[in-house]
Chains A and B, each alone.
Chain A
Amino acid sequence: MPQQRNWELREGFKIEKVVSGLSLPVNLAFVPNPQNAKGAPLFYVTELYGKIKVVTNEFKVSVFVDNLLNYQPDFKIPGTGESGVIGIAVHENEDVFASMLYKEGKVFKNKVVKFTSKDGFKAEKADTIIGNILSINAAHQVQALTIHEEKLYVNVGDGMINPDVAQDDEDLRGKILRLNLDGSIPTDNPDPKSYVYAKGLRNPFGAAWRKSDNHLYISDNGPAVDDRIAKILPGENYGWPNSMRTNSLFVWWYTEAPTAIDFAEDQFGARHKDHLFVALFGYAYVEGKAQKGKRIVELFIDEYDNVKYLNDFARYIGQGPASPCGLAFGPDGLYFTDLHGEVGFKKGDKSGGNVWKITKT
């Protein structure tokens, strides 16, 4: 495949478009142990307005499940269109978990649904494993999902309207939740009667587990200032709404809207192993160059939790509204979604989103 000139990369890397024609692709999640047989599922992608698609190791795309929203999205981005189906995680047994909004009467709520299938290509059963969490029809909804040691971790935004809920132990907004895979509360949670694993978060879009220290890391979007990266410890308080800096590892004072994050393993060699890659989305919809976001950065966090450096890794230099949103390392490289793609829905293209792959040359 040809190099794509709308992305500028660090020297020694190449980029290729592996999937196109998606509609607002948000996050992607790889099958933990993908089969080598041609045509086997490789990863899943959430589309904001109600679909999950499965992508094979030959990059063929099909619908895993659709019609996931019980309300009509309004495409107001930024604003009330910034919501829908967001987070996704795949268990080793190939069950797919996704986070999304739903409407009950006039009230928007968050839920996480588990989808089971026989072959990984078509969801046959859907079970809500947690729901009834108040939300907002905008950003700050339920976000990333991760699975670690047979537990599901759920990033939940503060719902934007009343940020004080992030400090309320009885309210699940503004928290990281820890669940058994059937939706029950693990008996070894910080409070064995509560899903809450950590609190004091605002809009924690991204999450990833780091193998070298066996901890969860998250990205969290600040208000007018202070986006951050944090290492999540059980029972810890991350400060919001009083501060976005409490227990943070790294802060962007000038906000960049960090979305998905992931740690490199061996995909880019020893120089990049265990480094954190962060998608900086920037403004919700801007064509061409923008003051912030529209790039992927690489951070090195040392064993004492110091961020030793941060470098640009990939940057969008085209004229379209594309910006990196979802991001995950696959077996052979770093994959990411560009949400709006090159054209974007504001110019009449509701299917412009792509998935890109960056590998070493």
Chain B
Amino acid sequence: MAKVADTQENMQKCICGTCPTHDQCMKDKTQGLFCAKGKTDCKLTKNGCLCGACPVASEHKLDKMYYCEIDAAE
């Protein structure tokens, strides 16, 4: 599992913004790319996870879900 760089290129590929768990708080704080930036400080309600379908996750061979909760990939 490779560490994910917090870059504009990865941000453009990131699909966190369309995830059912990405709520208004995260949108207001323009949060995303949690696998690189780390977990959210918003109150998290799990409504499903798209990490497994994300190009950033597969390019870095990430094998976990809910990076918005568990923190950045290491």
The chain A residues found within 8 Å of chain B, CB to CB, are 76-81, 136-140, 160-161, 222-225, 254-255, 257, 283-284, 286, 290-292
The chain B residues found within 8 Å of chain A, CB to CB, are 15, 18-20, 46-55, 57-59, 61-65
> Are the C-beta atoms of A78 and B15 separated by less than 8 Å?
yes
B52–chain A nearest beta-carbon distance, Å: 4
From B46, B47, B49, B55, contact of A283 by CB (8 A): B55
> Are the C-beta atoms of A79 and B18 separated by less than 8 Å?
yes
Distance between Cα atoms of A136 and B64 in the complex (Å): 21
A-B contact count (CB 8 A): 62
List the A side residues contacting B20 at CB < 8 Å: 79-80, 136-138, 160-161
Known interface pairs A223-B52, A224-B63; A255-B58 also in contact (CB < 8 Å) = yes
Distance between Cα atoms of A2 and B34 in the complex (Å): 46
List the A side residues contacting B54 at CB < 8 Å: 78
> Are the C-beta atoms of B52 and A79 separated by less than 8 Å?
no
> Are the C-beta atoms of B65 and A223 separated by less than 8 Å?
yes
List the A side residues contacting B61 at CB < 8 Å: 254
> Are the C-beta atoms of A284 and B55 separated by less than 8 Å?
no
From A76, A160, A222, A291, contact of B59 by CB (8 A): A291
Distance between Cα atoms of A255 and B55 in the complex (Å): 11
Known interface pairs A78-B15, A138-B20; A224-B48 also in contact (CB < 8 Å) = no
From B15, B46, B51, contact of A224 by CB (8 A): B51
Known interface pairs A76-B18, A79-B19, A224-B63; A292-B48 also in contact (CB < 8 Å) = no
B40–chain A nearest beta-carbon distance, Å: 17
> Are the C-beta atoms of A161 and B51 separated by less than 8 Å?
no
Distance between Cα atoms of A139 and B48 in the complex (Å): 9
- 17 inter-chain pairs at a CB distance below 8 angstroms, sorted by A residue, are A78-B50, A79-B15, A79-B19, A79-B50, A80-B18, A80-B20, A81-B18, A136-B48, A140-B48, A161-B46, A161-B47, A161-B48, A224-B52, A225-B63, A257-B53, A284-B15, A290-B55
List the B side residues contacting A76 at CB < 8 Å: 18
List the B side residues contacting A284 at CB < 8 Å: 15, 53
